[in-house]
């Protein structure tokens, strides 16, 4: 059977509906009799991808792929950070809901520690009104530590207590110095030994699950090589192109490549033929959103309905969930950024949350004017030749038309 690759990308500042799209693509693969695998290729546990089923089941995915409710396993690539405590908490939640999650973790994933989270929050708090919009979960701190400093901790290290214990000591010393130099927070007021012991408990539990084949540490080649059992790879992007570390509006960006670049790099290294036929699924809500500090052009109150289950809520680090009309300029900019990496590949457009529009019409800034347009008119205003366009009128994938 011919293999397939689908790459799901957000065209905004995140929260576009990538979880819904990933779940739907997994459902399509299963219906064709294929064996799918979800691949996370950027970001970390700061993602929040909501999946709802027609039967009323609902889960917000952060550490597992959005196909999990369908029984589809997840590969957590080395482009992602790995948070042991967060993974175990979500695993317990999924098991309690009757799911059977399975996670393949690249052995070289950078591990987020409690020290990364502490530094992230202390620094963001110290910025005051100049905050960057961080989630406060340590993602960017983990990436920076791995890229620019010696104390590195990998997923494979979690099976070796002597190794991760030594590295935690190095990481503690690293952040003690940074927090003292960059903030007024008293690093030594906390019981770091107790947190280290909690981290060790997480590592022991992960080792147990590894032995049972539930959460495994694997090499990249094993996931994409000739003997791999998956026929369909669904690459689930995190955040959106307008937050990309290279293309977003600095400094309010993520330390992550949110275009198709990482996904295509994985394929080109391991399965060049599949990289040449991968299909891109671009996702946008029926309006722009932003959760966190940073510019949101044309931000304005919107009259929306059916928002009772909105996942994004006020929190200490990101503040309020913000919204505004769509901007074809921003959508076309995002498409242009990704076109650099995906020339010649089939492109698809998905517009979500259309059930939240009281009159069914998009509010859209185009050519300097705010217009009301039918959703089906949007593709004509965008600078891409879409192979298909789909519209979601419900909170679950079966609403895609």
Binding-site residue positions for Mg(2+): 15, 48
C-alpha span between 156 and 400 (Å, rounded): 39
C-alpha span between 151 and 172 (Å, rounded): 9
Dig out the tokens for 260 from the structure.
């198709």
Annotation marks residue 316 as catalytic: no
> Phi and psi of 354, rounded to 5°?
-70, -20
User: Which residue positions form the known binding site?
Assistant: 14-20, 48-50, 239, 254, 353-355
Annotation marks residue 367 as catalytic: no
User: Which residue positions form the known binding site for IMP?
Assistant: 15-18, 239, 254
DSSP string of 241-282, one letter each residue: GGG-TTTS-TTS--SS--SSHHHHHHHHHH-HHHHTT-EEEE
Tell me which residue of 346, 355, 351 sits closest to 364, measured CA to CA.
351
Choose the catalytic residue: 6, 45, 49, 192: 49
C-alpha span between 274 and 203 (Å, rounded): 35
Choose the catalytic residue: 15, 23, 106, 157: 15
Please give the helix or strand (H or E) that residue 22 lies within, else none.
helix 18-31
Whether 43 and 239 have beta carbons less than 8 Å apart is answered as yes
> Phi and psi of 258, rounded to 5°?
-100, 0
The residues carrying an active-site annotation are 15, 49
């Amino acid at each position: 059977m011919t293999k397939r690759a689908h790459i799901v990308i957000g065209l905004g500042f995140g929260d576009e509906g990538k979880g819904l799209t990933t779940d739907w693509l997994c459902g399509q693969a299963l219906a064709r009799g294929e064996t799918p695998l979800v691949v996370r290729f950027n970001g970390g546990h700061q993602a929040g991808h909501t999946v709802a089923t027609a039967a009323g089941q609902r889960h917000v995915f952060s550490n597992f792929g959005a196909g999990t409710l369908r029984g589809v396993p997840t590969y957590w690539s080395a482009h992602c950070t790995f948070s042991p405590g967060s993974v175990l908490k979500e695993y317990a939640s999924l098991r309690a809901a009757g799911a059977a999650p399975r996670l393949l973790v690249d052995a070289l994933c950078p591990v987020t520690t409690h020290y990364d989270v502490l530094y992230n929050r202390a620094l963001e708090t110290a910025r005051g009104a100049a905050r960057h919009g961080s989630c406060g979960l340590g993602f960017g701190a983990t990436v920076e530590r791995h890229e620019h400093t010696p104390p590195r901790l990998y997923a494979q290290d979690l099976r070796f207590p002597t190794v991760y214990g030594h590295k935690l000591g190095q990481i503690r010393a690293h952040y003690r110095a940074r927090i003292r130099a960059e903030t007024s927070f008293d690093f030594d007021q906390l019981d770091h030994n107790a947190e280290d012991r909690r981290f060790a408990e997480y590592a022991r539990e992960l080792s147990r699950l590894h032995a049972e084949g539930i959460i495994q540490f694997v090499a990249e080649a094993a996931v994409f090589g000739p003997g791999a059992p998956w026929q369909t790879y669904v690459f689930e992007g995190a955040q959106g192109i307008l937050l990309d570390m290279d293309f977003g509006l600095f400094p309010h960006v993520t330390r992550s490549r949110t275009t198709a670049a990482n996904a295509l790099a994985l394929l080109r290294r391991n399965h060049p033929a599949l990289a040449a036929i991968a299909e891109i699924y671009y996702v946008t809500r029926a309006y722009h959103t932003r959760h966190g500090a940073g510019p949101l052009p044309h931000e304005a109150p919107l009259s929306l309905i059916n928002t009772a289950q909105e996942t994004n809520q006020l929190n200490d680090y990101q503040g309020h969930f913000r919204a505004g009309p769509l901007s074809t300029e921003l959508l076309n900019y995002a498409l242009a950024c990704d076109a650099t990496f995906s020339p010649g590949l089939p492109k698809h457009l998905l517009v979500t949350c259309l059930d939240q529009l009281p009159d069914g019409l998009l509010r859209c800034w185009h050519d300097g004017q705010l217009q009301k347009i039918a959703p089906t008119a949007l593709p004509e205003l965008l600078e891409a030749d879409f192979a298909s366009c789909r519209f979601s009128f419900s909170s679950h994938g079966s609403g895609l038309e």
